[in-house]
Amino acid sequence: MGTGLSWKDRYGPWALVAGASAGIGEAWAREAARRGLNVVLLARRAAPLRRLSGELAERYGVKTIVLPLDLSRADSVEVLARRVRGLEIGLVICNAAAIPVDPFLERGMEEHLAAMNVNVRAPLALAHRLGAPMLARGRGGMVFMASLSASMGTARVVHYAATKAWNRVFAEGLWVEWRKHGVDALACVAGTVDTPGMRASNARSMLGAQSAEAVVRASVAALGKRPSVIPGWGNRISGFFMERLMPRKLMIQLLGGVMERMYPRPDVKGPLSGNRRK
Ligand SMILES: NC(=O)c1ccc[n+]([C@@H]2O[C@H](COP(=O)([O-])OP(=O)(O)OC[C@H]3O[C@@H](n4cnc5c(N)ncnc54)[C@H](OP(=O)(O)O)[C@@H]3O)[C@@H](O)[C@H]2O)c1
């Protein structure tokens, strides 16, 4: 929004990055620090957070807090709130995610609920806890990581895709409610991004993968201007085809086929392997 405030005044003095130990979150932490914000670095693994903390302090002269925390714990945001009490957090990046890649029933219910805590419960609680003081101050921003897989049901990542759809819709709703109070919400609808998590998933192809830094740049440019952003023109074209041009049933089947080729499982028949008539 056109407030006349500098980026640092609008979103500072502290940023909180959930999932800062790798990938897109790590790139967000660097970008926030480069723009002069102090950063709370949150993830499960303390060692990479400490390394990043040292780097940010040395390169950008900002303060950091290393906060090793498992967001799959149901009480994680309460624990976090106690640790950051008194800090003025003006930017929250809801980026940590659990990404189980398997046919839905191959993961136990406990694992699905843990993923739900990381992908849905934590951003919900962060928005509730840290959104209120932002609205009271009349400034701030929150970014929610969604995905192109949030556009529709997606085989192999059935539950993950549904949680990403939640993040997208949630951010878009907040965008409307909060903008009149001076607070920006943004859904980042990323395509494939070259990150440690993506590489570890053993996807057969990472064609057209963007860098984490490019995703962050696109998000910074969109924050305060629109409710969601799809970084990269190739992804925007794909998104347009997927959501506006193709019949939904056909698109769900095609995407299912793509995912099965990306994550092949010899023992499982795919949606396009035997039921083309449906
Ligand atoms: N990469 C892609 O192609 C892609 C595409 C679309 C959307 N996205 C979204 O972008 C976001 C980041 O993805 P990425 O590829 O950068 O992932 P990544 O490389 O796997 O990094 C994930 C980050 O989240 C943290 N994390 C995971 N589980 C956590 C937990 N239970 N508690 C606290 N922190 C946790 C990880 O740190 P620890 O392991 O130290 O906890 C790490 O810092 C996710 O929301 C993902 O859905 C990614």
Residue 44 CB neighbours (<10 A): 15
Task: Classify residue 206: in a domain, yes or no.
Answer: yes
Sign of CA dihedral 122, 95, 68, 138: negative
Task: Classify residue 267: in a domain, yes or no.
Answer: no
Task: Classify residue 276: in a domain, yes or no.
Answer: no
The domain containing residue 227 runs over which residues?
7-262
The answer to whether the CB of 190 is under 6 A from ligand 1 is yes
Average of pLDDT values for 164-180? 98
* pLDDT computed for residue 160 by the predictor: 97
Identity of the amino acid at 38: N
* pLDDT computed for residue 273 by the predictor: 30
Better-scored residue on pLDDT, 255 or 187: 187
The answer to whether the CB of 129 is under 6 A from ligand 1 is no
* pLDDT computed for residue 150 by the predictor: 85
Task: Classify residue 269: in a domain, yes or no.
Answer: no
The closest of 124, 145, 130, 225 to 187, measured between CA atoms, is: 145
In terms of C-beta density within 10 A (0-12 exposed, 13-18 middle, 19 or more buried), how is residue 224 classed? buried
Task: Classify residue 278: in a domain, yes or no.
Answer: no
The answer to whether the CB of 95 is under 6 A from ligand 1 is yes
**Mutation to probe ligand 1, out of 71, 75, 76, 193 (largest number of atoms < 8 A from CB):** 193
CATH of the domain at 166: 3.40.50.720
The answer to whether the CB of 71 is under 6 A from ligand 1 is yes
The closest of 68, 90, 70, 79 to 6, measured between CA atoms, is: 90
Q: How many domains does the structure of the chain reveal?
A: 1
CA dist 278 and 271 (Å) reads: 10
Residue 11 CB neighbours (<10 A): 28
The answer to whether the CB of 192 is under 6 A from ligand 1 is yes
Q: Whose CA is nearest to atom 19 of ligand 1?
A: 197
Task: Classify residue 1: in a domain, yes or no.
Answer: no
Ligand 1 atom closest to 23 (CA): 16
Cβ contact 14:38 at 8 Å = yes
Task: Classify residue 270: in a domain, yes or no.
Answer: no
Average of pLDDT values for 151-156? 92
Task: Classify residue 253: in a domain, yes or no.
Answer: yes
Ligand 1 centroid–CA 209 distance in Å is 16
Angle between helices 23-34 and 46-60 (to 10 degrees): 20
Ligand 1 centroid–CA 92 distance in Å is 15
pLDDT at residue 98 above 50?
yes
Residue 134 in 3-state DSSP?
helix
* pLDDT computed for residue 266 by the predictor: 58
